[in-house]
Amino acid sequence: MKAKHGQSFFDLVLQSTGSAENAFAMSLLNGVSITDPLFIDQELLPSGKANLSIIESWSEKNLPATAISNENHELIIPDDGIGAMIIEDTFIVR
């Protein structure tokens, strides 16, 4: 299994085994930490019990990608607009 842009270790665990419970087994098998950033096309071998119903829900155009870095955080969650407003603080209800 190769890592794609924006994928974290847990994304690949979920994509290849269908369960985050296999993270430590995959970590030991591949010799990487569960918190290590992945590089594009980095290969990891799946390990642990597979949950086929979850694995089958992924496709090449629908893959988990939750690796958020400081560089792209501002692009995803802007500091203005209704999504960043706090009721009674930055959003006043009248």
Structurally, the chain folds into a number of domains equal to 1
Q: Report CA torsion sign: 36, 59, 23, 44.
A: negative
Note the pLDDT of residue 91.
65
Provide CB contacts within 8 A for 79, sequence distance 6+.
Answer: none
What is residue 45's predicted lDDT score, i.e. its pLDDT?
94
Would residue 49 count as lying in a domain?
A: yes
- Residue 59 domain flag: yes
Quote the domain boundaries for residue 39: 9-84
Domain assignment present for 3:
no
Q: Look at residue 46 in the predicted model and tell me its pLDDT.
A: 92
Residue 79 has φ and ψ, to the nearest 5°, of -85, 10
Write out the chain's pLDDT in tens, 94 residues: 899 888 999 999 999 999 999 999 999 999 999 999 898 999 999 998 999 988 888 888 888 888 877 666 666 655 666 666 666 666 666 6
Would you say residue 17 lies in a domain?
yes
Tell me the pTM. 0.69
The answer to whether position 89 is within a domain reads no
Amino acid at 68: I
In a domain, 4, yes or no: no
Between the alpha carbon of residue 92 and those of residues 30, 83, 87, the distances in Å are 51, 14, 6
